[in-house]
Structure 1
Amino acid sequence: MSTMMIAGGGIGGLAAALAVVRAGYRAVVLERQPEFGELGAGIQLGPNAFRALEQLGVTHSVAERAVFVDRLRLMDALTGHLIAGLEVGTTFRKRYGHPYAVAHRGHLHRALLEACRSSDAVDLCSDNGVERYDQDDDGVTVTLTDGRRLRGVGLIGADGLHSAVRGQLVGDGPPRVSGHTTYRAVIPAARMPEDLRGHAVTLWAAPGCHVVHYPIAGSTLVNLVLTRDTGADQPVAGRPVEPAEMAANFGHLHPSPRRLITLAQDWKAWVLCDRDPSDRWQDGRVVLLGDAAHPMLQYAAQGACQALEDAVCLGDALAEQAPIPAFAHYTARRSAHTRRVQQTSRYLGREIYHPSGPAADKRDAMLAAWTEHDLLDRLDWLYASPPAARPGLPDPWSGTRQTLDAARHNGRPPSGSTR
């Protein structure tokens, strides 16, 4: 059995291991950290993620601890009123064949990790980061952080935003710092105000900032995520945050979202980073996957979902072809789609989550004019079927851009706006 090496033991790397094993390879997962684990708390899983999890054989173990939400809500964080909502119950599931859920990132990672551990064809090696690779006609040799060398028929770089494999393959330097700082915390669900409870993902939008909350861990916890355009120009990961910083950044919001800040005692901050889309994912027997290939901002809630889709697509290609043509086939199928998701994520943050003044008024009017069918039509490209099977679909947000542009000239005046 040929060996496929995988750099990175996060969600994407473990999913890739399961996928290549299903394609008939042995997988060696090389994780830089001393232990396999996943940072962060909440994660949103759209129907496309569940489609991939089903193909990887881990749907049941993920679903056990997930919360299947009924509704997605966009609220005005300054006035407290509902801007738009989307039911994600029976009609949504019937349309896409799978549900929308939220979960703890650790639970998703653990489900994939346990599936890998139960497979005789997966070797999990922690404290073994990939520093570089060399290849010839017959295979790839990786050099690990401790100087040891391993060899296989191919290498999948799933080592995240700061990927060493990408650094050698693409050579595009450090990630792009977005200037947006995200503050994360988790609280017991029992502490949540009664009027803010429920099986919903709620997003409170305001100029330059937003608040998201939803239940996780079988509805025993609530995930809180607050983001603000702070102008940060350096990456930060997991910095402890004092209450005064939270109050300074979000004290101007409506009392409903503002009171959430006082419920958590252990806030930590991350500065959001991504990269410009690249079509260069392959170097012979080496290929990128997940954040190493297409790191994206959080605004489309698709980072992990796209990594899961990558893994399934790559496994399908390897089941039919040798590594080099399989990697080329996978890159051709996935790179255009993930480029679109990356660009949509940036757009959502700018035009839907964080606009101010007249632009926010026009957003509200536009979303109010859309029916639920209109909203779903704009999500089909992302959720309906494997993306590569749906070529030529229009940009789902092209109508949004056109509406906003037209509204700037013809929309209702912004007088009296609270933004």
Structure 2
Amino acid sequence: MIETKKDNLLIVGGGIGGLAAALGAAKAGVSSVVFEQASKFGEVGAGIQLGPNAMKALDYFGLLNEIDKVAVYPKRLVLKDIYTGKELSVLDLGDSFKKRYGYSYTVLHRSDLQKILHVACLKTGSIELLNNQSIQEVNETANRVTIKNQHGKLFSGKALIGADGLKSNIRKVFSDDEPICSEYVAYRGTIPTSEIENANMEDVIMWIGPNLHLVQYPVRRKELYNLVVVFKSYNYKADSDDWGTPEEMEKRFAGCHPLAHHALQFIQRQIRWPMYDRLPIDNWTKGNITLLGDAAHPMLQYLAQGGCQALEDAAYLAEMLETQAGNYHDVFQAYQEKRIPRTAQVQTSARLWGEIIHAIDPIPILLRDAIFEQRTPKDYEIVDFLYASKGIKSKLYN
């Protein structure tokens, strides 16, 4: 049996990108159905950093007031040497930053952002949200796209957006590539700030060292403190979970600064996140099918842009649906023409920044630190390509 209304837009994936895409479609007067694999809409993880580019997209969706209720607006981004504790570089996030880019740098809990998007979708009245839906197959005919779930049930609509993440099934329509393991793993944790002594509640801090780093910042109105530990495993084994273990984490962070080492006791060790990305592809649209977010451009997290780029995608798509309603083929083609160069640049830059912060040889480390020391906190040129309007060619971002 084929279900859903004739003109529905089908969206596979109910994460940040998928829900934002549904909101964008609703803003353009398009009804949609979101298919989420999990049993409920929610995020596994901890904090998320949102640059001004993401905040502009959320403003476009009318969500800044809700974000403000749970957000923290840090004063600085700080890079520290994980062994000496020395500040290597600082980015001032105060008034001059906001004046330059139009929005604040914002941190919050991922589940808070997911909830805000979910509630906003429910309020539209034009978005149907379905759980326990693992979409296995996609077929397109002249004017219809049909998908099949894990139980063989068919759903049909006018167009399809694949927002089903790193391991996207919809991406297989365009590419047979596979996720690339960086051989790094992440462990995360959030704890009540009341349980931490002398925690820095004003900054996002990244402690960096050879093949490892630690990130710290407050979330949820400074009620929780977010911690992320990342390191390259020296025991990497393809197709195995027996690498990047908590035991290896303890060995790798031995000897680091006491404040950084203290954070390890608050890390949750039950869940390990191996870190993957993919190479950029030069096409993610076919007929009335396109990709969005990590399904289109999965990236390593070193620029904190994975969720931000998904929100940008959704805002662009919404803008184009408003101006070119009805013709999904043209909308999707125009969307990818703008988004592929932008997201490819961010993907490759994220890889490069991973190499920079994780440098292991003494000479590259000395050169890196010398360049960092020459910067002033209000030298924003290094992040202009991420946050400045001139880097985002769209009516929405100009």
Sort the Cα spacing of 1:171 and 1:81 in 2 relative to 1 into closer, same or farther, 3 A.
same
Q: Residue by residue, what CA displacement relative to the aligned partner does 1:146-198 show, whole Å, maximum 9, x if unpaired?
A: 211111110000000000100233222x300111111111122123231x422
TM-score (norm. length: structure 1): 0.88
Tell me the residue number matched to 2:288: 285
Distance in 2, matches of 1:17 and 1:236, equals: 36
* 1:95 alignment partner, SS class: helix
Distance in 2, matches of 1:278 and 1:380, equals: 24
Tell me the residue number matched to 2:57: 52
Contact 1:191 1:263 in 2 (8 A): no
Q: Residue by residue, what CA displacement relative to the aligned partner does 1:214-248 show, whole Å, maximum 9, x if unpaired?
A: 001111111111111114344789x9965x44321
Distance in 2, matches of 1:151 and 1:281, equals: 20
Q: Pairwise CA RMSD of aligned residues?
A: 1.9
2:16 to 11, 14, 36: 11
Q: Which amino acid aligns with 1:312?
A: A
* 1:72 alignment partner, SS class: strand
The yes-or-no answer on 1:219 pairing with 2:219 is no
Tell me the residue number matched to 2:208: 205
Sort the Cα spacing of 1:35 and 1:377 in 2 relative to 1 into closer, same or farther, 3 A.
same
Contact 1:160 1:290 in 2 (8 A): yes
Deviation at 1:273, TM superposition (A): 0.3
The yes-or-no answer on 1:251 pairing with 2:254 is yes
* 1:379 alignment partner, SS class: helix
Contact 1:235 1:273 in 2 (8 A): no
Contact 1:78 1:254 in 2 (8 A): yes
Distance in 2, matches of 1:240 and 1:135, equals: 41
1:379 to 368, 380, 383: 383
Q: Which amino acid aligns with 1:379?
A: V
Sort the Cα spacing of 1:146 and 1:265 in 2 relative to 1 into closer, same or farther, 3 A.
closer
Sort the Cα spacing of 1:386 and 1:307 in 2 relative to 1 into closer, same or farther, 3 A.
farther
Tell me the residue number matched to 1:397: none
Tell me the residue number matched to 1:164: 169
Contact 1:205 1:354 in 2 (8 A): no
The yes-or-no answer on 1:307 pairing with 2:310 is yes
The yes-or-no answer on 1:192 pairing with 2:188 is no
1:389 to 385, 389, 393: 393
Distance in 1, matches of 2:106 and 2:341, equals: 26
Tell me the residue number matched to 1:297: 300
Tell me the residue number matched to 1:358: 363
Distance in 1, matches of 2:267 and 2:181, equals: 27
TM-score (norm. length: structure 2): 0.92
Contact 1:235 1:270 in 2 (8 A): no
Tell me the residue number matched to 1:182: 186
The yes-or-no answer on 1:113 pairing with 2:118 is yes
Contact 1:235 1:271 in 2 (8 A): no
* 2:9 alignment partner, SS class: strand
* 2:70 alignment partner, SS class: coil
Sort the Cα spacing of 1:117 and 1:386 in 2 relative to 1 into closer, same or farther, 3 A.
farther
Distance in 2, matches of 1:211 and 1:199, equals: 16
Sort the Cα spacing of 1:62 and 1:234 in 2 relative to 1 into closer, same or farther, 3 A.
farther
Contact 1:19 1:312 in 2 (8 A): yes
Structure 1 residues 234-273: aligned runs within 5 Å: 234=238, 242=246, 244-264=247-267, 266=269, 268-273=271-276
Contact 1:209 1:354 in 2 (8 A): no
Distance in 1, matches of 2:260 and 2:195, equals: 14
Distance in 2, matches of 1:223 and 1:236, equals: 28
Distance in 1, matches of 2:332 and 2:84, equals: 50
Contact 1:8 1:157 in 2 (8 A): yes
Q: Once structures 1 and 2 are overlaid, which stretch shifts more, 284-293 or 312-321?
A: 312-321
Deviation at 1:264, TM superposition (A): 4.1
Distance in 1, matches of 2:358 and 2:196, equals: 23
Distance in 1, matches of 2:128 and 2:24, equals: 14
Deviation at 1:388, TM superposition (A): 3.5
Q: How many residues align?
A: 385
Q: Which runs of 5+ in 2 are unaligned?
A: 1-5
Deviation at 1:262, TM superposition (A): 2.2
The yes-or-no answer on 1:318 pairing with 2:334 is no
Distance in 1, matches of 2:387 and 2:240, equals: 32
Deviation at 1:387, TM superposition (A): 3.6
Deviation at 1:354, TM superposition (A): 3.7
Contact 2:233 2:248 in 1 (8 A): no
Q: Which amino acid aligns with 1:261?
A: L
Tell me the residue number matched to 2:3: none
Q: Which amino acid aligns with 1:219?
A: K
Structure 1 residues 126-165: aligned runs within 5 Å: 126-165=131-170
Sort the Cα spacing of 1:386 and 1:51 in 2 relative to 1 into closer, same or farther, 3 A.
farther
1:38 to 43, 48, 53: 43
Distance in 2, matches of 1:306 and 1:386, equals: 16
Tell me the residue number matched to 1:125: 130
Q: Which amino acid aligns with 2:274?
A: V
* 2:23 alignment partner, SS class: helix
Q: Once structures 1 and 2 are overlaid, which stretch shifts more, 182-191 or 324-333?
A: 182-191
* 1:166 alignment partner, SS class: helix
Contact 1:210 1:226 in 2 (8 A): yes
Distance in 2, matches of 1:364 and 1:60, equals: 39
Deviation at 1:129, TM superposition (A): 2.2
Contact 1:189 1:220 in 2 (8 A): yes
* 1:79 alignment partner, SS class: coil
Q: Which amino acid aligns with 2:17?
A: G
